Chain A
């Protein structure tokens, strides 16, 4: 009796394990099938083109011959390339810094006012982020118009002379950075506001009991508590600002005299408009190093947070 019972349980267990095993197998098959559209889409239209760009950049203009690093050598010898390189770095770094500062300051002001008014202000201040950048850049283009500039009209009343916003190299550089800050600062504001809300009020109370000034409260309480979110927002923003296209394309189209071209807009001009696809691919690949560094930092932060949870 006993061994029959034992055998029965063994069979039962064996069955169950087999069933479970099959179920597991089926489950992972279903899971794979459900993820398959994603894998195909990202494989064919993101991963493959990204690799293909590297191959393209090593061909000659008619794409008939492999030239190795020929396109890159050619770029290094051109003054325009170094202008674009300089302008891309200036654009991305200064825009991200100012977006972060303005976002931080505005988030503090919104956080300061009574809670019931915050929603309204937050809603109003996020509008630049919601409007498609191509559309809002058109408004800026009109605000910067050489003969009818509405900004110059206001400045005139303060005795400031007509400013050639998009006509002179340095003013044009300033203008594209300004518009980028205008578009991106609200995003920083929202992120920092969310972070500010998560700082426990007791920390501030403890700090003011210890006699901390407002500056010390920000430096020793707010900033350390927000460090993660500040870093990740800035890195994200660095990636998209460095890869920006819309604003420069519409506002200055790279001019005057290539002074405001970024890698993306110059790659478009060289690759699509002038028809030199390999050279355009080579130009756009210069975005990769900075993207890779920023992505590595973001990924490290995310996996760290993931393992903490």
Chain B
């Protein structure tokens, strides 16, 4: 409004008025398109929520699918009192927490060694770590499947159809990227800092735990979030390596047990999907800046 008044007052100098009018229109168009894109981007999660609040009768009734007539929490109650679903949730939680712990220990110590201590072949190894990050899980699941059979025949350890097997293989998905971003964070710490610590008689271990980890804490949080979201969302490995319902993790459990043949109980499926999406979303809501820092730090998978 003020701009309009200014441009009216400066009728003799139309250039200024047209620039501010352009800006104002650009802003309006920006908001308009942002709203459109937000609708497109948020439509599936919102529809998940809408469906999860409906009873099966309301879902199959011929009425507006975007509106809830009689909101009910029965889907949530049913799912959360179902032993099976709680088992999926527990498996997912244990696997993700263990994988986060393992990947952080492996990648922080390796990144420290590669960024600061340098040894024979360390530069090649850093490149190699990056290359393994580019090898997708879809290339590895078949040879891993065969390797598990080999382990069973020769060592007598059954790796197939156990949720804890996932703790062993998920780090392959998280460690390369976590190491890669930690190398970046560690390399940005000034050399004087750890030299001072070494002169004061600190061991390498002390330098790592007393100086590098506290200083690079934002990077560690970003890497932790990355490791958690990757292991929570992983779908291919559990689908290929686990089958009994007591061994499934959440994404596979929802897809394979709630969809039975042609009978789709959509209210429960959407409730399960929403509950499965909740942990990453909650972490994202509270630690958005770290999440985005981790994303842009080294160009994640997109």
Interface residues of A (CB under 8 A from B): 27-32, 34-35, 37-39, 41-42, 45-50, 52-53, 56, 63, 99, 102, 105-106, 108-110, 112-113, 121-128, 130-136, 138-140, 142-143, 145, 148, 150, 153-154, 182, 184-188, 190-191, 194, 232-233, 236-237, 239-240, 243-246, 249-250, 263-264, 267-268, 271-272, 277, 280-281, 284-285, 287-288, 291, 294-295, 298-299, 302-303
Residue pairs across A and B with CB atoms within 8 Å: the count is 295
Shortest Cβ distance from A27 into B: residue:
B117
The listed residue (B139, B168, B269, B296) touching A284 by CB distance below 8 A is B139
4 tightest CB-CB pairs across the interface, nearest first?
Answer: A132-B233, A31-B117, A243-B136, A264-B138
Question: Could you tell me the dominant secondary structure of chain B's interface residues?
Answer: helix
In chain B between 261 and 275, which residues have their CB closer than 8 angstroms to a CB of chain A?
A: 264, 266, 269-270, 273-274
Binds A, one of B59-67, B73-81, B215-223: B59-67
Contact status A45-B43, CB under 8 Å: no
B276 at the interface (CB under 8 A from A): yes
B30 at the interface (CB under 8 A from A): yes
In chain B between 29 and 47, which residues have their CB closer than 8 angstroms to a CB of chain A?
A: 30-31, 33-34, 37-38, 40-45, 47
Q: With a CB–CB cut-off of 8 A, which chain A residues contact B112?
A: 34
Contact status B270-A288, CB under 8 Å: no
Report the bound CA distance from A196 to B134 in whole Å.
26
The smallest beta-carbon distance between A129 and chain B, in angstroms, is: 8
Question: Given known contacts A34-B117, A42-B175, A298-B134, is B40 in contact with A56 (CB within 8 Å)?
Answer: no
Contact status B251-A132, CB under 8 Å: yes
The listed residue (B106, B107, B236, B300) touching A187 by CB distance below 8 A is B300
Question: Could you tell me the dominant secondary structure of chain A's interface residues?
Answer: helix
The smallest beta-carbon distance between A176 and chain B, in angstroms, is: 14
Contact status A134-B233, CB under 8 Å: yes
Contact status A267-B204, CB under 8 Å: no
The listed residue (B136, B274, B276, B285) touching A240 by CB distance below 8 A is B136
Q: With a CB–CB cut-off of 8 A, which chain B residues contact A268?
A: 138, 141, 236, 239-240
The listed residue (A34, A124, A132, A302) touching B113 by CB distance below 8 A is A34
Report, as a range, how many residues of chain B touch the other chain: 35 or more
- Max chain B C-beta neighbours (<10 A), residue from A37, A38, A150, A182: A38
The smallest beta-carbon distance between A142 and chain B, in angstroms, is: 6
In chain B between 96 and 150, which residues have their CB closer than 8 angstroms to a CB of chain A?
A: 105-107, 109-110, 112-114, 117-120, 122, 125, 127-132, 134-147
Question: Chain B, 245-268, contact with A by CB distance < 8 Å: what is the 0/1 string?
Answer: 000000110110000000010100
Contact status A30-B117, CB under 8 Å: yes
The listed residue (B129, B139, B204, B277) touching A27 by CB distance below 8 A is B204
Q: With a CB–CB cut-off of 8 A, which chain A residues contact B254?
A: 134-135, 138
Shortest Cβ distance from B46 into A: residue:
A139
Contact status B280-A49, CB under 8 Å: no
B301 at the interface (CB under 8 A from A): yes
B224 at the interface (CB under 8 A from A): no
B179 at the interface (CB under 8 A from A): yes
The smallest beta-carbon distance between A261 and chain B, in angstroms, is: 12
Q: With a CB–CB cut-off of 8 A, which chain A residues contact B66?
A: 150, 153-154
Report the bound CA distance from A245 to B34 in whole Å.
30
22 A-B pairs with C-beta separation under 8 A: A30-B117, A34-B117, A35-B113, A42-B132, A46-B132, A46-B140, A109-B34, A109-B37, A110-B30, A124-B42, A128-B45, A132-B233, A133-B233, A135-B277, A143-B43, A187-B300, A236-B299, A236-B301, A237-B301, A249-B235, A288-B139, A295-B131
